[in-house]
Amino acid sequence: MKQLALLLAGFALYSASLRAQSSSGVPESHRPPPGMCRIWIDGVPPTHQPAPTDCATAIRKRPMNARVVFGSDASAGSGRGVAPAPRVQSNFAPSREQQDRNVQQQRDEQDRQRIAQQQRDAQERERIEAQRQREEQQKREASHAPPPQTHHDQGRAEPPRRPRTEKAQRPPQQSHSGRRPR
């Protein structure tokens, strides 16, 4: 009988603590989801309370006139025997892992852009070098070519050249007089 009374007294205390927690001013509809926390400011209507966030942020940013409400599957204050809730990403700030991934993605993108720019620069240098070599080749060809005809020479045709014939050499004429012919 004593054991039954003790059991009933314990049950009454347990249910009273549950009622006290639910009547602590935080309606069940405004409790944070499991694994998250919420700053609850005393004297502020439930619709004007800050949104749920991760527990570390809630604890760090709690003002003096507020408390942190933890979301969990256990309604009672004892969390014994209950596995911790999985960490949920906040809607307000990215996690450290997400920030690291974002930074790495930005670095990767910058590396891709730098490599692409280097490739474009190399192609431009090759194009300029090829153009310079073509110009040098044209200059060499121009220096070995016959001089171009001027504009006024284009209408007049040169007469064909006659082939040269060898003339027989004549012996020098000698005069028999001492005087030269006039």
One digit per residue, the tens of pLDDT, for the chain of length 182 reads 677 666 666 656 555 544 444 446 788 888 999 889 999 998 889 889 999 999 999 999 999 888 999 887 444 444 444 445 555 555 566 678 888 888 899 999 999 999 999 999 999 999 999 999 999 999 888 887 666 666 555 556 677 777 777 766 766 666 666 666 66
The residues with which 68 forms a beta bridge, in sequence order, are 39
At 62, the amino acid letter reads R
| β 66-70/37-41 pair status | antiparallel
CA distance 94 to 100: 10
Residue 37: CB atoms within 10 A of its CB come to 21
pLDDT for the residue 160: 74
What's this model's pTM, rounded to 2 decimal places? 0.31
